[in-house]
Amino acid sequence: MDFKEYLQQAIEDNRLEMLIPSREHSEEEVLWMRGYQQALEDMFEDYTDDLDTIKREKYTFSLN
């Protein structure tokens, strides 16, 4: 499993925990989980964008 798959799994696990909690969470825990979810999603988006840029630059040839 690569980093992107681990990140996707963490996003999905956290999303499911918020939808179907395994236990009762305090208001602070729910707030933290929402922030964590947003941070994971932002990280995934940045990683995907950066990976696309790296791939594009790697396979873009220049005669200069």
For residue 2, give both structure tokens. Answer: 């690569």
DSSP code of residue 60: -
For residue 25, give both structure tokens. Answer: 């969470």
Tens of pLDDT, residues 8-58:
999 999 999 999 999 999 999 999 999 999 999 999 999 988 877 877 777
pTM (2 d.p.): 0.75
Residue with tokens 């990140």: 7
Domain locations in the chain?
3-58
- Show the DSSP H helices in the chain as ranges: 3-19, 27-58
Report how far apart, in Å, the C-alpha atoms of 11 and of each of 8, 30, 40, 54, 62 are. Answer: 5, 15, 6, 23, 38
